[in-house]
Structure 1
């Protein structure tokens, strides 16, 4: 299926695997790429050396295009951009809107720039600054998310910009791909669906928690870092929502110390990153610290297999997923379902060429 997205980034299918911290590592990204979709390597939880090694590992596993996701507000964003350019990565994806200067630097080097946004005005801004495409996540999506549903946000953005738009938030099958195309998108991006594959390195016990969840088990809370964060409801989330400021601050300091040791960041750097994530919000110091070390909370679940000590970012779609296919099986299924859906829409006796 050829769309503006497949032509732009050089993949066979208009499907993107999003850059999920601790989840979107070399194994998942290369499996996605080999299946014909666009895999995005999550770099925010990596040191610079780890990022370079991870890019090279992906390259050793696949000769297909892939991307790297990074935080535009990170103090070392420029260093990460240089790694992307030096290593010949095809796509740079951003969790927040990158600056005009970063976009220009990447485009000059021939890198495709695809920021992720959650509002029409943000899409308009990055399009004006030269972004090549944009991923638009509706409120159904996992992690930090907004309030506007994909079905409302997506057509707004499609009508507002002249660059390819990739739809995210609530997608898991071929019917969703066809729906996104009908809205004018050039493809879909999925996070939770790729997390729940056999190629994902997330521990099996944690995957089982996701598979057992219903749509009512996925919640949005500000208790973790002061910003709306969609995740599975767990005892830890309940405890954070009940905890007072003193207890929350002590917990934040402990987790921040753990992430500092793991990442090699200094306390001052972590505080700067936490403050950068405030985005004008009135956060407490506990929330600033938690914003800086939310990766540690995610690592406890996604790497260590301890959801009792961490959080599990999740889209609402987790409530309707019940299997763990390989990336190859998943992409083949999505594309088969999309063709069947298009044929069904055409009506009896009518076949749509593929």
Structure 2
């Protein structure tokens, strides 16, 4: 029997969240996902308060369906972003990079559903205790910043630790993957990499083509030297990174170099840019519309 807690809680058709990918998940992608029945999520990292306000309003011009904003709690302008989220009556937020505990009274008074992204069952338990409505457990298969535990183990551990809905994230890009996670007890899933290969995703065609061409072993993890592991597609930039790491370059210099690589990908430079992607990249073989992706993942 399908667990309808998350679809009923959020008012969405599919129990599928679109991951908040920094520099990627803007109104164009989030609005398309929400319009098609999933939960579109705007990534607020790197945005000013007024830029976030503009993104929220742009999504609302695209759809009347529920959407969310992802809030990285260690951002210097976090409080300003929270004020915009409340003023604009955003219905749902996902959070990362810290605990929303101090913000919970403010968010709950505004009627906002709070769903943190977490890397362990022990943190899931803490998030349930502070009143979060659900948790997204993100496994090491994911693209972007990752934890240490695989998605399958993490989902089972979280289900043993909490009674609130658990959303599985990491390594999910097929109907079989979604079905398997829900059969294991997850209330829904969050997918990122597969939405990179969508018509509506605002990345370069060269980046999308790399996603389609890659297989499951074509990602690498950068950033372990400065305790910020980051999964990306292997390319010339990653080869250079590992050479620098082997030459004992200082952690802060490595981090600065990777940050520059993020900016390179914005220009479509798929050789020197950091292209976020999870291991599920090997399961993606064509570029499709967001609507087609959602229908391919779940039989509603």
Q: TM-score range by the shorter chain?
A: over 0.9
Whether 1:313 aligns to 2:276 is: yes
Aligned to 2:294: 331
Aligned to 1:23: 24
**3-state DSSP class of the match of 1:40?**
strand
> Where does 1:1-354 land on structure 2 (aligned, <5 Å)?
3-222=4-223, 226-243=227-244, 284-287=251-254, 289=256, 294=259, 296-301=260-265, 303-336=266-299
Counterparts of 2:121 and 2:206 in 1: how far apart (Å)? Answer: 38
Residue 300 (structure 1) shift: 2.1
**3-state DSSP class of the match of 1:177?**
helix
Counterparts of 1:124 and 1:169 in 2: how far apart (Å)? Answer: 20
In structure 2, the CA distance between the partners of 1:100 and 1:178, relative to structure 1 (3 Å rule), is same
Contact 2:18 2:39 in 1 (8 A): yes
Contact 2:206 2:270 in 1 (8 A): no
Cα RMSD between the aligned structures?
2.0
Q: Deviations over 1:75-109 (max 9, x none)?
A: 21111111111101111111223331112211111
Task: Specify every segment of 5 or more residues in structure 1 that has no aligned partner in the other structure, as ranges.
Answer: 250-283, 340-354
TM-score w.r.t. the length of structure 2 is 0.93
TM-score w.r.t. the length of structure 1 is 0.80
Counterparts of 2:245 and 2:282 in 1: how far apart (Å)? Answer: 31
Q: Deviations over 1:221-265 (max 9, x none)?
A: 22685422111111111111112699956xxxxxxxxxxxxxxxx
Over 3 Å off, 4+ runs: 223-226, 244-249, 287-290
Task: Specify every segment of 5 or more residues in structure 2 that has no aligned partner in the other structure, as ranges.
Answer: none
Counterparts of 1:245 and 1:219 in 2: how far apart (Å)? Answer: 15
Contact 2:134 2:164 in 1 (8 A): yes
Counterparts of 1:148 and 1:63 in 2: how far apart (Å)? Answer: 36
In structure 2, the CA distance between the partners of 1:224 and 1:244, relative to structure 1 (3 Å rule), is closer
Counterparts of 1:192 and 1:217 in 2: how far apart (Å)? Answer: 13
Contact 2:172 2:178 in 1 (8 A): yes
Larger radius of gyration: 1
Counterparts of 1:73 and 1:93 in 2: how far apart (Å)? Answer: 14
Counterparts of 1:286 and 1:148 in 2: how far apart (Å)? Answer: 27
Q: Deviations over 1:123-167 (max 9, x none)?
A: 111111111111001111111112211111111001111111100
In structure 2, the CA distance between the partners of 1:203 and 1:104, relative to structure 1 (3 Å rule), is same
Counterparts of 1:143 and 1:5 in 2: how far apart (Å)? Answer: 25
Most deviating of 95-104 and 58-67: 95-104
Counterparts of 1:288 and 1:202 in 2: how far apart (Å)? Answer: 23
Residue 287 (structure 1) shift: 4.8
